[in-house]
Structure 1
């Protein structure tokens, strides 16, 4: 079959290619392929993925449109400076959520100036998020941190995203010292509101500039039709939002939870469109809730290859084995040795039944921990300052989420019964966590969610309709 829409995903290990056919107002999945990513010159990996697609019987139209996502550049190194530590952390986390940035450090006005200076000089970030002060509130922290950034003499682009009344003065400080900067609206204009999209888009632009500088990655921009490369996690989230929220012509599925488990990280995305309708009073203080419609958490030490030892370190080797009903000290030693080998050989594919069993146990453990870190919980203690009593739901409440979509190689290469086992066991003991009560598990068999996110901006209605059909959601 002929394809006229291609979506590449250039990852650190593999370059994946997904092909669709767009005809007569319908979008159809045609096929997919992958090839090892050739970081020094990604064109080779791209061509090999194309050849593999042809070997699978897919012909590509001469006028096919090409889109792309990438995580091969590793993400921008980001430091966030702000006024209050918890508020700055919250804003930085939300801004970086799908923009292709990794928050390496968060410092606030409470940290001594010399410490803030040391952090900037040691980390040498690619980008600095300069937040602080609601509109009409504190200005001093924004100005102080601007002077510290100048003093640090780092080669970073600064996103000025704090108190709007102080922004012009801060911009003047940077302009006078040749510090590159971008001004965006305050990420937290009031204590009830986060406005992260403009800052996120600014970081995304820097992400694209970075991958054009990385050796070979500029060729990715040369082949894409929209001259845009979306960070892969951002594309997954965009796909989830399209499915959950729908479009003008296609109704959304409602609340969805995405589990994306890879070799290095386990990402959890939740999209809850109903939260957009909450009043300011219902939202409460931004700093102590997770009531934004879209939310993502990344567990960088929970992955099935590069970070396999992190899972064992988090819950212990016997804790991992308990996920598959084992309690054997000898097997625990074998598991530790296996994860150490995986860390050194991330491209390794499990061979024996025992190794496949280890993979399932590691997956269950990673998903369970990541879910409980993403979800809120039922408070067990009094907190008079925050107005919290025992039994009060705190954080993100996922109990009414119906659809849980699982993404990742462990699911793609498992049997249906093994897929269900991994998910059922991961959700088995919620404890005080606010996890979905009656989840309906769906497997992204062909790893299409990222592709739908990449295509969604241009083909929203078609992608929304296709997504509901593909995931069998009425």
Structure 2
């Protein structure tokens, strides 16, 4: 299809082929601005009996056509292009996580250095990392070979050594992978793609180690020198091979690839892409989370540095039992303000695992599910902060031993005080009956400090916009701002431990709303401020507390409203709830009342 000028694009179709549901949206140019106008969805048809992903895509697009009164498919169920009058579209784009998404194995010489860089590259491309093989991962060679044989990844990313550095250990890694003869997930019809992104001096020997049973390719080193990462070339190659090999051999994807006007992206990669585009365009630091039934994805952009993690066993249905085991029931129940029978709750957890599509049918079930989500989100964010670190072996070089054993905890580039935007996605967050509940789950789990804007993805269209940003950045940004995000408001919170029964901070608000007063230690307060309103807020914290300008220092900022408004949080950071030194159930009850979380709550959300 000929390249279309962005100015001539008036109707855009985008789909996201999920593991169970294919979601389609239409974007149209209205009065000079791009707006999301219609959406449709249908079951994904990548498995038997249909075994053709385009059937589900056509069904979702047909639903949009009916709603819009626009003919989008011809008699052969092909997408009509370009748009003419009341039929067709100008471009069609898609993302996919059907069939389990993109699954990868990564390897590197040192687990904390080159292997970690390879993992960052794979995660940034939207992959699920099945395992990380390294020379120092404490497994014996035969155990590593056995592990490689057991896994059936879609592709393998090999890193190791800085350019001009070690060659011996890099070749040894190749000598583990080559004899293991790893088999691709979609059968033996194609050769396993192996990307080499290590020491370029070792490439000739690595190439000789493999036979023609693999599709071997080389890109620039992910860690060319000790203090610099170069993840872009590896990410780009992963996307290319995802299309050429993985997607091309999945049922019906060859036809879907022929339909699209831009390369199909893995769904998480597209979500990360739009978040980074927004952060870079606005010059802000942002964190996004997508909590699903089996996994929780966390994305962050701090000072232009993008990171993504997948917490593979932290989810709200298939993995809910693991959340309860890892977080422990006392930690979950510390967020519950009413009496609950722990034995009955454990039965409820097991029922959710075997009936993952059920939603809470009672207020008690809703309160418990949202308590579980707080812990799942908290644990996923902890894992993300541990992973999103400054480069190992650079910041704290002291001895050769320290190089490989540094604690990553202190090096995280994720800084809640510098966080500007926190975006929520996933059923338990997006479909909470009240916006206040979504805001409370975000604040309790992520513990933002200073001034942080809160938002949620309205209908999970971030994947669609992520791939659109590659083709038409202006349209993606306009729809993201106007239709994708529902702004909840702004959270203002102190860092540090407040003194009990003392004032945590004084506030003065002017502008579209006016208010002033004091927030006591442990207090939450909500001040309504609509999404189209702004206010100037001045905060003077207690001398031991910080709101972004230093301990005890006054700070003044302009804040934006939302469906919830301004939330003033005097509970301190870190947020200690339930322990002997933490806040009690009575405190939790007061927070529920302050934010009006569950008063007269309907049993079932219709959203």
Instruction: Report the TM-score range of the alignment, normalised by the length of the smaller protein.
Output: 0.7 to 0.9
Structure 1 residues 405 and 200: CA distance shift in structure 2, 3 A: same
| 1:359 paired residue among 359, 369, 373 | 369
Contact 2:174 2:206 in 1 (8 A): yes
Q: Secondary structure at the match of 2:113?
A: helix
Q: Deviations over 1:233-277 (max 9, x none)?
A: 00100010111111xxxxx251111121112211111112x35xx
Q: C-alpha distance in 2, partners of 1:359/1:383?
A: 45
Deviation at 1:469, TM superposition (A): 4.1
| 2:110 paired residue among 62, 84, 94 | 84
Structure 1 residues 443 and 91: CA distance shift in structure 2, 3 A: same
Paired position in structure 1 for 2:100: 74
Deviation at 1:177, TM superposition (A): 4.8
| 1:158 paired residue among 169, 194, 198 | 194
Whether 1:198 aligns to 2:233 is yes
Give the structure with the higher percent helix.
1
| 2:306 paired residue among 287, 290, 294 | 294
Q: C-alpha distance in 2, partners of 1:94/1:69?
A: 20
| 2:472 paired residue among 433, 448, 459 | 459
Paired position in structure 1 for 2:13: 6
> Who wins on radius of gyration, i.e. which is larger?
2
Structure 1 residues 34 and 245: CA distance shift in structure 2, 3 A: same
Deviation at 1:159, TM superposition (A): 0.9
| 1:258 paired residue among 288, 307, 320 | 288
Contact 1:150 1:177 in 2 (8 A): no
Residue pairs, 1:114-129, within 5 angstroms: 114-129=142-157
130-139 vs 197-206, which deviates more? 197-206
Whether 1:318 aligns to 2:337 is no
Whether 1:185 aligns to 2:185 is no
Q: C-alpha distance in 1, partners of 2:253/2:218?
A: 27
Structure 1 residues 345 and 39: CA distance shift in structure 2, 3 A: farther
Contact 1:159 1:182 in 2 (8 A): yes
RMSD: 3.0
Q: C-alpha distance in 1, partners of 2:293/2:178?
A: 38
Structure 1 residues 464 and 321: CA distance shift in structure 2, 3 A: same
Structure 1 residues 355 and 185: CA distance shift in structure 2, 3 A: same
Paired position in structure 1 for 2:46: 39
Paired position in structure 2 for 1:141: 169
Contact 1:383 1:389 in 2 (8 A): no
Q: Secondary structure at the match of 1:348?
A: coil
Contact 2:300 2:414 in 1 (8 A): no
Structure 1 residues 334 and 220: CA distance shift in structure 2, 3 A: farther
TM-score using structure 2 length: 0.66
Q: C-alpha distance in 1, partners of 2:146/2:420?
A: 46
Q: Secondary structure at the match of 2:16?
A: strand
Structure 1 residues 113 and 468: CA distance shift in structure 2, 3 A: same
Whether 1:397 aligns to 2:414 is yes
Contact 2:224 2:230 in 1 (8 A): yes
TM-score using structure 1 length: 0.83
Structure 1 residues 57 and 70: CA distance shift in structure 2, 3 A: same
Q: C-alpha distance in 1, partners of 2:471/2:269?
A: 16
Structure 1 residues 364 and 233: CA distance shift in structure 2, 3 A: same
Structure 1 residues 317 and 170: CA distance shift in structure 2, 3 A: same
Deviation at 1:62, TM superposition (A): 1.2
Gaps (5+ residues) in structure 2? 1-8, 73-86, 184-191, 390-395, 488-558, 561-607
| 1:369 paired residue among 363, 379, 404 | 379
Q: C-alpha distance in 1, partners of 2:128/2:425?
A: 21
Q: Deviations over 1:268-291 (max 9, x none)?
A: 11112x35xxxxxxxxxxxxxxxx
Q: C-alpha distance in 1, partners of 2:347/2:256?
A: 38
Contact 2:126 2:270 in 1 (8 A): no
Contact 2:288 2:300 in 1 (8 A): yes
Deviation at 1:55, TM superposition (A): 4.9
Paired position in structure 1 for 2:463: 450
Deviation at 1:120, TM superposition (A): 1.9
